[in-house]
């Protein structure tokens, strides 16, 4: 069974997350909005009582060293609402900027707010992406009917996480979970995530793979 994971938005909690993933040899894709990263860390929004800080531009390469980077648009708008000119800017400029920053091909896309339509998919395809992740939960996730409508099994904190995992394992399929590290609001949640990452890494039937590796 192959296991893939995807995390959004480029926030400070990703420092702890990437350290955790490296500890267990887990691969992951991180979906970034390069137009929202300032030179220094910035407080972007609130999640309940928690201030969510976005990483500074100069620390991105070190934080995500060794991980797959995917395009999450330039500034995280709801893409179906944009004009074609603005849509092209959000998709193309973001991809070019990420490739310049990380010096690696950017082949994946993640829809902000999970929003897309035919025009959005056409622009993403034209810009050179080979897959695009949605937030739609599907079974099985792979192979997708449409590579630009790549669904997921569940979120990382889904109460049915292990049941879904075992179901995919029984069919030797692809298990795909996602989330935002700012959702980890206490040590209990961090410990639960570590148990999941450690458990998957220790499972001889499971193999961590990069998302884009499924398509190339």
pLDDT of residue 216: 84
Average pLDDT over residues 205-216: 95
Q: How confident is the model at residue 47 (pLDDT cuts 50, 70, 90)?
A: very high
According to DSSP, residue 104 is labeled: S
Range of the domain at 13: 2-214
Closest CA to 108 of 146, 76, 135, 71: 71
Instruction: State how many domains the chain has.
Output: 1
Average pLDDT over residues 189-199: 98
Q: With pLDDT > 90 as the criterion, what percentage of the chain qualifies?
A: 99
Q: Say if CB 89 and CB 74 are below 8 A apart.
A: yes
Which secondary structure element, helix H or strand E, spans residue 134, and what is its range?
strand 131-137
| pLDDT exceeds 90 at position 167 | yes
pLDDT of residue 82: 98
Q: With pLDDT > 70 as the criterion, what percentage of the chain qualifies?
A: 100
CA 183 to chain centre: 14
- Mean pLDDT score across all residues of the chain: 97
* Two tokens, residue 139: 């079974």
| CATH code (residue 52) | 3.20.20.370
pLDDT of residue 33: 98
pLDDT of residue 3: 98
Q: How confident is the model at residue 44 (pLDDT cuts 50, 70, 90)?
A: confident
Q: Say if CB 137 and CB 154 are below 8 A apart.
A: yes
Residue 194, C-beta contacts closer than 8 angstroms, at least 6 positions apart: 20
Mean pLDDT lowest for which of 5-14, 43-52, 166-175?
43-52
């Amino acid at each position: 069974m192959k296991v893939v994971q995807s995390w959004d938005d480029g926030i400070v909690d990703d420092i702890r997350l990437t350290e955790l993933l490296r500890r267990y040899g887990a691969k992951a894709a991180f979906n970034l909005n390069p137009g929202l990263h300032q030179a220094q860390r910035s407080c972007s929004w609130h999640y309940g009582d928690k201030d969510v800080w976005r990483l500074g531009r100069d620390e991105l390469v070190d934080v995500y060293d060794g991980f797959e980077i995917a395009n999450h648009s330039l500034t995280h708008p709801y893409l179906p609402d944009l004009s074609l000119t603005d849509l092209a800017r959000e998709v193309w400029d973001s991809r070019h900027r990420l490739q310049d920053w990380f010096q690696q091909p950017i082949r994946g896309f993640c829809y902000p707010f999970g929003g897309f339509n035919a025009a959005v998919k056409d622009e993403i395809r034209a810009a050179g992406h080979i897959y695009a992740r949605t937030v739609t939960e599907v079974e099985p996730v792979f192979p997708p009917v449409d590579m630009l409508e790549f669904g997921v099994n569940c979120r990382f904190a889904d109460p049915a996480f292990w049941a879904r995992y075992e179901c995919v394992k029984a069919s030797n399929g692809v298990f795909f979970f996602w989330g935002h590290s700012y959702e980890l609001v206490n040590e209990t949640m961090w410990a639960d995530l570590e148990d999941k990452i450690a458990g998957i890494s220790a499972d001889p039937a499971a193999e961590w793979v990069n998302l884009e590796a499924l398509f190339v």
